[in-house]
Structure formats: structure tokens, C-alpha cells
Amino acid sequence: MKKVIVGISGGVDSAVAALLLKRQGYEVEGLFMRNWDATLNHDYLGNPTLNESICPQEQDYNDALEACRILDIPLHRVDFIKEYWDYVFTYFLEELKRGRTPNPDMLCNKFIKFDLFKKEAKKLGADYIATGHYAKVNNAKLYKALDQNKDQTYFLADITKEQLQDVLFPLGDYTKPEVRKIAVEAGLNVAKKKDSTGICFIGERHYQEFIRNYLKPNPGDIIDVETKEVIGKHTGLMNYTIGQRRGVGLSGSELRHYVCGKNVEKNILYVAFGDSKYLYSDACTLDNINLLEELPEKLTAKFRYRGEEIPIEVLSVTKEEIKIKYPTLAKSVTPGQACVFYFNDECLGCGFIKDVYKNGEKLWYLS
């Protein structure tokens, strides 16, 4: 009997993944990862900020324990707090300082879930590891899940072919409603538990309040990119992302201006009025490349998880950089975010957006 170690998070997806594998005849055990210590939350002056009756991750662990009791499988626990800080959270902060918009979930998959977790699972005798991701894997090739609305290949695109070896994604052929139904019928305690949203270590906390725990606010000018006039003050460039319109803080014009750029050196936030030409681009360069397969000349790509998948053309490929163009203009292509490649249902890997262009010129208002 083959042994599978399942990453049990305390949510419904991982619990159902374990249940399905058990029904398929595998020897199943769970492994809970503790990646963040909320008791260490502090502001940039060193003052503690945590005010919660129970750490959310400890609640998740309690839910995971109960789910595994119901499933009648063992649950192991491992702490990757230091590693998560070194490989994921430090990167997150450094990218914010550079004026970019990081994607820590992708780094967590690359360095924690499909590296350190996998090594820990092998120590426990695992033939395979499994998670509750909505995706498919076949011969170390990554494919979209049946449920296109829940497909998570975007977040998995930065893991390597080697990391995809001996990996199972049991939910790949199920929709989210089907997963919920299976959990209810099995009497799982997490059957109706709300899905976690947003960045994992922030959880339900307000984003800007959380960021102030680690980066000192640095207010500066908000400038209209077309008129070059100062029209307001921002609270710190790390609090904004390209394409944002809610929470920009322009009195009397809320929802009418979009963030379209940043200048870190001058501490300027650029905004455009309405659905402006300044929000659109037709090409970009990518760095930190991870290719699962060789790229065809024409394929599709997504610039953000919930973004539209659009046709692109590959102009050049090196180990360090890829340049692409997109015949249909794309909106709010954001430095620091991932560009994930697809050919039909297969995910071919990704690169991270470095510079953005339009009509052959680099967009000057994007740092």
C-alpha cells in the first residue's frame, strides 16, 4: 500500500483531499504546517500589536486535529516559522520597499509546501505528498483543474518539474460545491468552514494596519499622471497596487482615479483619471523565470490570479529574462506580479513582471 502525506490546513479542501485518497486505498497521514507566529506581530517601533483570544493558526490546527480524528488518520505537525520568514516574508517586505506588488503565496508553494514540506513527508515514509489545491498533475506536467473558477495553477506555476514529482492533487476533477457536499456527507467538522482569503499571514487583519507592523509609513505626493499636478497625499507606496481605485484617499473623487504607477526614489504615487490609456500596456519583460516546458511562439498568459487569460507572443527567451508582447492591450500589468503561461489547459511556468512597455517605450511612471 502506497503512503501519502497530505498537507492538512484545517480547511475543507485538504480534509476532503485526504478523504478521497483514503477511499482510493492509500495509506493516508496528515501533516500540519505552522508557518507564522502571530504572537510575534509588532509595529515598526517594536510594540506588540496582537489582540486575539486565540491565534488563527492554532484554531486551524484544532480544526485539523478534529478532521483527522473523524477521518481516523494520524496528524503530524511541523514548524517552518523561521524558514517562512527567511524565504517568503523577507521577500514580501523587500518587494514592497521596491514599489512592487509581491505574491507571497507563490513563494510559499515553491520554498515551503513543495520543498520543506515534501522533505518532511519523505522522512515520515511518504511515497507521495498531496494537497488540497485545485489543479491536476500528470507525469510532472501541470494542468488546470476541472473547476475553472477555483483553478490554482497560477499559484503553482513557480514550482519546478522536480517538485511536481510524486505529487497528487485529489481535487483536480471536482468542483468546489462537490467538495463541500462530500465533506457534509462525511460529517467533517470543516464542511462549512469559510475559505481563507487574501495573504495567508495577514488573514482577516486590515492590510495597511498589518504592513505598519513592519514598514514605517512614508507619506508622499499623489500626482495626476496626465496633468502632472499634485492632487493629494498617499500614506506610503507599499499600501497601493497598480489598478487600485478603492482606498486611494482622494477626497471628492473616490473611485474616479486609478493607481497607475509609482516612483520609489521620489516617493510619488501616480494616478490616472478614469479608465485611462495610462493603465494599459502591450509588452513586458519578465525575470526570475521558471519554465515547466518549452514555450511555443504563441500561447496565453495571466498577469494576476483573477485576471483574464489573454493571447501573447514570445519575443525572446533567456535563462534570466523573457520578453513578451500582447496584441490585445492588457490593463494594470504590475511589476512584481507573476505572468503565468498556458497552452490550452497545460500550465507551462511563469516569470515575474519586471518592466512594462507600450508602443516600444518603457512606461516611465512605473518604477
Q: CA of 4: how far to CAs of 108, 132, 152, in Å?
A: 21, 13, 21
Place of cell 499636478: 229
**Phi, psi values for residue 253, rounded to 5°:** -135, 25
d(CA 203, CA 221): 30
Q: Is 200 a catalytic residue?
A: yes
d(CA 62, CA 67): 9
| Grid coordinates of 23 | 477511499
d(CA 333, CA 337): 8
Catalytic residue (choose from 55, 68, 108, 284): 108
d(CA 200, CA 194): 14
**CA neighbor of 332 nearest in space, from 359, 353, 347, 360:** 353
| Grid coordinates of 108 | 510559499
Q: Which SS3 state, helix, strand or coil, does residue 185 take?
A: helix
Q: Are 292 and 142 in contact (CB under 8 A)?
A: yes
Q: Which SS3 state, helix, strand or coil, does residue 263 take?
A: strand
Catalytic residue (choose from 55, 68, 200, 339): 200
Please give the full DSSP string across 18-31, using - where no structure is assigned: HHHHHHTT-EEEEE
| Bridge partner residues of 30 (DSSP) | 6, 75
Q: Is 350 a catalytic residue?
A: no
State which amino acid sits at residue 366.
L
- 40: which DSSP letter? G
What 46-52 contacts at long range (C-beta under 8 Å, 24+ apart), as own/partner pairs, is 49/213
Q: Are 71 and 118 in contact (CB under 8 A)?
A: no
**Active site members:** 108, 200
